[in-house]
Amino acid sequence: MTSPVPQPMFPLQSALLPGEVLPLRIFEPRYAQLVQDCLAMTEPAFGVVLITRGREVGGGDVRGDVGVLAHIAEYAELGMGLYQLQALSGERIRVSEWLPDEPYPRAAVEPWPDEPGPPVTHERIGEVVDRILALYQMVATARGATLRADALAVEPEVADDPSRHLYALAARVPMGQADRYAVLCAPTLAERVDVLTDAIETVSAMVEFQLAAEED
């Protein structure tokens, strides 16, 4: 087992999933310092976790213990301590201990790969795809639009990796942050399929209700 290592952390109001792009505009001095410290690393990266309650500014926030490691892919120094970043979220991480915010949030983290569990077949993922497409079709029909055939297309290397494919599908479902965080926290692939399926059903029911209300 990998020992936890200290990591700069960036708590956000949204739950980031592996494979997503994170654009950031940095203006707070402490986060400018975080960026500078990250850029000094061999592989510049920082942890991202969801703020589950409260707001990070001013303290008093409650932070999730599961997140992702965001790798800085591009950056621009804009002067006066301002930075423009684009980071790519990678592996899932788990916080073992929060460290003092000196001067920015830090935590001891460890990688959290998918735990062993029942296998998830391409057919099972296909069922998830069908549910999402049915949701999209519901909205498209109500709006008089045509659903694109490649609405859920992913790169071949993503399609061949069930874990990456599930995260990519989850990122395309318009669900709330709590549901996104639940998808991220699912220990196994099989459990992630179940959590994502439940979230899709919830969103579909909400959309159906809203569309019915618009017709009244």
pLDDT at 210 (0 to 100): 86
Of 81, 111, 141, the one marking the end of a domain is: 111
Of 52, 81, 111, the one marking the end of a domain is: 111
Phi, psi of 65 (to 5 degrees): -100, 0
Instruction: Single out the residue of 77, 78, 68 nearest to residue 113, CA to CA.
Output: 68
User: Are 177 and 15 within 8 A, CB to CB?
Assistant: yes
What's the rounded Cα separation, in Å, for the pair 38 and 71?
A: 9
The answer to whether residues 192 and 173 belong to one domain is yes
pLDDT at 86 (0 to 100): 96
The answer to whether residues 145 and 106 belong to one domain is no
Instruction: Single out the residue of 184, 188, 179 nearest to residue 120, CA to CA.
Output: 188
The answer to whether residues 18 and 98 belong to one domain is yes
Task: Tell whether 81 is covered by a domain.
Answer: yes
pLDDT at 60 (0 to 100): 65
Task: Tell whether 117 is covered by a domain.
Answer: no
The answer to whether residues 93 and 128 belong to one domain is no
Task: Tell whether 31 is covered by a domain.
Answer: yes
Helices and strands per DSSP (H, E), number in the chain: 6, 6
The answer to whether residues 174 and 106 belong to one domain is no
Task: Tell whether 116 is covered by a domain.
Answer: no
Mean pLDDT by 10 residues, the chain (216 residues): 84 95 93 94 95 68 93 91 93 95 93 95 94 94 88 92 96 95 97 97 92 78
What's the rounded Cα separation, in Å, for the pair 12 and 197?
A: 25
Task: Tell whether 60 is covered by a domain.
Answer: yes
The answer to whether residues 66 and 97 belong to one domain is yes
User: Are 85 and 23 within 8 A, CB to CB?
Assistant: yes
Residue 73's CATH number: 2.30.130.40
The answer to whether residues 62 and 160 belong to one domain is no
The answer to whether residues 147 and 87 belong to one domain is no
Task: Tell whether 181 is covered by a domain.
Answer: yes
Of 79, 111, 143, the one marking the end of a domain is: 111
The answer to whether residues 169 and 204 belong to one domain is yes
What's the rounded Cα separation, in Å, for the pair 48 and 157?
A: 24
Task: Tell whether 204 is covered by a domain.
Answer: yes
List the domain range (segments joined by +) for residue 57: 5-111
The answer to whether residues 56 and 80 belong to one domain is yes
Based on the structure, what is the number of domains in the chain?
A: 2
Task: Tell whether 164 is covered by a domain.
Answer: yes
The answer to whether residues 130 and 107 belong to one domain is no
pLDDT at 59 (0 to 100): 58
The answer to whether residues 56 and 79 belong to one domain is yes
